[in-house]
Structure 1
Amino acid sequence: MRVFIMFDLPVETKAQIRTYTKFRKRLIQDGFLMMQYSIYIKSCLNKEAAHQSVNNVKRYLPKDGHVRSLVITEKQFENMMILVGEEDKNIELLGDNRTIEF
């Protein structure tokens, strides 16, 4: 399973920038990798582990902005088409070396 966390946070004040930075760093600490700006992805062993990852993110959500999650299967992820640009090999390897256990 793949967990996507997509977010749009305000960054107009220093306090908002600090909140954005703390949220982003926490995602990375929890094993998410940046796929695109404001889109982070994590590979999980199964649906239960994926939902646990989403629940973990819920514990440190910023109070302003928008954060969305999406859980998809490996098959769905493999069917993703890149329309512009080159494929990021780091994201391709995510399932091999960054899988969490539950």
Structure 2
Amino acid sequence: MTHLSGYRMTWMMILFDLPVGTKAERKRATTFRTYLLDAGFEMVQFSVYARFCATRELAEAQTREIERNLPKAGKVSILYFTDKQYETCRTYTGVSRQPQAGKPAQLVLF
């Protein structure tokens, strides 16, 4: 059994800025957001989504899937954080600090 280390477990964060000036562009942006939710990402902010991956290899596989589903226009960035780095993130709503979302309680295997 592989030891799961907080230094090997990875969080992926997708940041994007997609054009939404026309009805067709809004539809493509919505399709991409829906794809991310269906792929197990959680919305952090409207154009920022995050997902926990048990290993960097799983994150790389997920990246290849995202690359196949990229919209034709706009900018999409993918950031990677170890679980230990992600623990240090702080989230505020107004002036109130929100508890940091932890890794999923159950490990999902593909």
Q: TM-score range by the shorter chain?
A: 0.7 to 0.9
2 CA distance for matches of 1:45 and 1:31?
13
Corresponding residue for residue 35 of structure 2: 26
Runs of 5+ unmatched residues, structure 2: 1-9
**Secondary structure, counterpart of 2:91 in structure 1:** coil
Corresponding residue for residue 68 of structure 1: 77
Residues 44 and 101, structure 1, Cα contact 8 Å, conserved in 2: no
C-alpha deviations, 1:35-56, integer Å up to 9, x for none? 1110000001101001111111
Corresponding residue for residue 49 of structure 2: 40
Following TM superposition, the consecutive aligned residue runs of length 4 or more in structure 1 with deviations greater than 6 angstroms are none
Task: Give the number of the structure whose residues are more often helix, by fraction.
Answer: 1
Corresponding residue for residue 6 of structure 2: none
Larger radius of gyration: 2
> Is 1:10 the counterpart of 2:19 in the alignment?
yes
Cα deviation for residue 61 of structure 1 reads: 0.2
Cα deviation for residue 83 of structure 1 reads: 5.5
Task: Give the number of the structure whose residues are more often strand, by fraction.
Answer: 2
Runs of 5+ unmatched residues, structure 1: none
Corresponding residue for residue 78 of structure 1: 87
Identity of aligned residues (%): 35
Corresponding residue for residue 96 of structure 1: 104
2 CA distance for matches of 1:99 and 1:10?
35
2 CA distance for matches of 1:36 and 1:80?
14
> RMSD across aligned C-alpha pairs, in angstroms?
1.9
TM-score, normalised relative to structure 1: 0.87
Question: How many residues align structurally?
Answer: 99
